[in-house]
């Protein structure tokens, strides 16, 4: 009888342990996945922010080159003169397990002015957005780094713009992105405000 009680006790304890482990996995796994997804998004945002810093630095200097490793996912580069609605942009696409944004909604990251043409000295030349969509068993995220025109409306009126891969094709890569200064042109009366548009052309290569 005593031996039977011991066996029953062992079975009960084993059952309780299995139940506890199952509960921990049931509730813990989604939390782990969420933390992992947040980390992946944070790394992606840091990559886009660092990429922007390098592009702007080279554009301001008017010379130089740099490179940056792509943390995960795929980078697409859409040239300034492309007919694609996302022209003059770099887009990082990657998959996370947890839904971080509602599908087909757009969130603006560290961007106070979202207009396509913004005041020079008050707004930054870039607009960064985050968009999500359902993809199989996971969620695909798109972080877009877009460059717009900045105008000075004081006399003499003029505008400034960073232009990516002028005359190129849409390219992509998942390993590294290389940045280099191409040239700087002044286009008479091409700014939205009617003044001259000073365009700094930046060449990007993704491999």
Give the model confidence (pLDDT) of 30-86 as tens digits: 544 556 668 888 999 999 999 999 999 999 999 999 999 999 999 999 999 999 999
The residue-averaged pLDDT of 181-189 equals 97
H or E element at residue 164: strand 158-164
pLDDT at residue number 36: 67
In order of 92, 146, 154, the CA distances from 166 in angstroms are 20, 14, 28
Sign of CA dihedral 146, 109, 36, 44: positive
Would you kindly state where each structural domain of the chain is located, as residue ranges? 2-206
pLDDT at 2 over 90: no
- Provide the pLDDT confidence category of residue 112 given band limits of 50, 70 and 90: confident
In whole angstroms, give the CA distance from residue 79 to residue 116.
16
Helix residue ranges per DSSP H, the chain:
2-61
pLDDT at residue number 113: 86
Tokens coding 146: 């877009």
Q: Indicate the SS3 state at residue 111.
A: coil
pTM: 0.82
Q: Pick from 198, 199, 206: which is nearest to 176 by CA? A: 206
pLDDT at 3 over 50: no
In whole angstroms, give the CA distance from residue 87 to residue 127.
13
């Amino acid at each position: 009888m005593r031996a039977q009680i011991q066996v029953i006790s062992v079975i009960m304890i084993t059952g309780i342990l299995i139940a506890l482990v199952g509960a921990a996995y049931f509730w813990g796994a989604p939390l782990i996945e969420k933390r992992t997804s947040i980390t992946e998004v944070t790394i992606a945002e840091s990559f886009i922010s660092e990429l922007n810093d390098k592009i702007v630095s080279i554009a301001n200097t008017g010379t130089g080159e740099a490179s940056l490793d792509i943390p995960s996912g795929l980078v697409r580069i859409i040239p300034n003169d492309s007919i694609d609605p996302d022209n003059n942009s770099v887009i990082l696409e990657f998959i996370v397990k947890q839904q971080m944004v509602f599908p087909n909604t757009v969130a603006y990251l560290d961007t106070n002015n979202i207009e396509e043409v913004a005041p020079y000295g008050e707004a930054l030349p870039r607009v960064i957005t985050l968009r999500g969509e359902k993809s199989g068993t996971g969620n695909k995220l798109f972080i877009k780094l877009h460059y717009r025109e900045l105008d000075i409306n004081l006399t003499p009126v003029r505008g400034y713009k960073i232009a990516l891969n002028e005359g190129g094709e849409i390219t992509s890569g998942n390993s590294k992105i290389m940045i280099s200064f191409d040239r700087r042109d002044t286009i008479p009366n091409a700014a939205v405000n009617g003044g001259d548009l000073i365009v700094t052309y930046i060449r990007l290569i993704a491999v």
